[in-house]
Amino acid sequence: MNVGAPHHLTDRVIAGYRTVAIGTFNFLLLFGLVNAIAHAILVSPAPHPEGGHFLSAGAALTERTELLRGRYPGRSDAEIRTLIETPQVMAHPKLEFIGRPGTSGFYTVGADGVRSNGAQESSRALDDAVWVFGGSTAFGHGVANEDTIAAALERLDPSRRYLNLGVQGYHLNLELDRLVHLLKQGHRPRHVIFIDGLNDAIACRASNFAPEDLPFFVANAYGHQYNIAHEVLPKGLGWFLRQLPVTKLIRREWAAGKAQEEPRDPGYTDPHDPSSLYVRDPLLHYELNQARVREPSATPSDVEKFRRYYRANLELLRGLEKGFGFRGDVFFQPNGLLNLETGFVLDPSQYQTSELYRSLEAMQAAIKTDLAAGRLPGMVDLSEADRSCRDCYVDAVHYDRRLAEVLAQHILTTTSSIGR
């Protein structure tokens, strides 16, 4: 009888178990490490080819302290640091997003989405007031409640109430959506003012969606394919594998490679066509649009798209005016990215040769030509209003109190119909 056989078998089982355990542990360790690296790559901000041309307000506070102190006379460095924080937004079921109500630093936004004009202000009731729409420049990114364009309008024209409905990141498409939303809620303005230009140009260049279909965040254009139900509710092994960072990274890089094979200017996406790339392969379509952002050169269709964008929105505004009994004006704003004297352009000569500058310049020139020829009725050119105040910026694009007042004066001078 071989008494050593059971011990030999036990040793083999233990050794096998140890091998499997070590192999499994190493596999899980490698699996976790690979996915951690993939996640870090996915969440890291992609370098923007034009990002190096500008000094951020935060960097200015550290590297060129006197520059920023000069734009905020009487403010301490701590107050300046609070002022330059980005205004907060939150999701909205109908609109892509809205300003977050509450007080954050020097920003005070009411539950109705109206930013305060300062401590001593009149009623913020929406009805029978002048509504001021726009993006971050109209909202007043970087300035206190009392230093915005709407606040300046109310100081200069105290007989009327001017409500700041600006939202960080909005362009005219979204602002008109919000106007319609407020009208559907039963609110009625006395007059409506839109202050736009920069975000519109960026949105037109950021995707090949038609002007009428432009979202602000391109990623939000794929909500039917990628939404909260898909992300939260498990749907088996396939769903699990698709959620892995390494799988997402591989898919993204594959799509980015495919995007390089596609034409730079393929024409507008038709979301109603089942055979369109937008419907067939939304991730690849998204990567194509991201490639447009990474290589910011303006094609002739970008310029024409910008023109069509304003023509369509102005026509809609005219229809809303007739149907709801108010008047409205769109003001083509000064574009800080085309102002070389803000103090935040690191190398103006080099920046002037960049694709970003040249494309924005071409798009602005087209709109100014149309405005001068009277082809955009209801739109007023204020793009050169900063000529008398070239350094009236708190960063590369946002206005300080002085330029807000200059714009308010121009708006009141050219908008004689307010209150009629």
262-290 pLDDT, tens per residue? 655 557 888 888 888 888 888 778 877 77
CA pair distance 95, 281, nearest whole angstrom:
25
Q: In the predicted model, is pLDDT for residue 233 greater than 60?
A: no
SS3 417: coil
Is 49 inside any structural domain?
Answer: no
Residue 4 has pLDDT above 60, yes or no: no
Tokens of 346: 């690191």
Range of the domain at 228: 90-420
Q: Which two tokens stand for residue 266?
A: 């393929």
What's the CA angle centered on 150, arms 146 and 151, to 5 degrees?
Answer: 25
CATH number at residue 257: 3.40.50.1110
E strand map for 105-222:
107-109, 130-134, 162-164, 191-196
Is residue 144 located within the same domain as residue 94?
Answer: yes
Question: What are φ and ψ of residue 197, in 5° steps?
Answer: 155, -60
Supply the pLDDT for residue 45: 56
What pTM does this model have? 0.83
Residue 374, sorted as left (phi over 0), alpha (psi -120 to 50) or beta, turns out to be: left
Instruction: Give me the pLDDT at residue 396, please.
Output: 94
- For every residue of 232-299, DSSP letters joined together read HS--SHHHHHHHSHHHHHHHHHHHHHHHTTS-S----B-TT-TTSHHHH-HHHHHHHHHHHHHS----
Average pLDDT, integer, range 147-172: 95
Four-residue CA torsion sign, 110, 111, 113, 114: negative
Could you tell me which residue, 343 or 236, shows the higher pLDDT? Answer: 343
Shared domain check, 237 and 384:
yes
| pLDDT single digits (tens) 174-223 | 999 999 999 999 999 999 999 999 999 988 888 888 889 888 778 888 87
Residue 50 lies in a domain: no
Are the CB atoms for 403 and 389 separated by under 8 Å?
yes
Q: Which amino acid is at 381?
A: D
35 with 149, same domain: the answer is no
Per-residue pLDDT at 298 exceeds 70: no
Q: What integer pLDDT is reported at residue 147 of this predicted model?
A: 96
DSSP structure class, residue 88? P
CA 325 to chain CA centroid, nearest Å = 31
- 19, 100: one domain: no
Angle (deg, nearest 10), helices 198-205 and 300-324: 130
Residue 48's pLDDT band (cuts 50, 70, 90): very low
Same domain for 276 and 226, yes or no, is yes
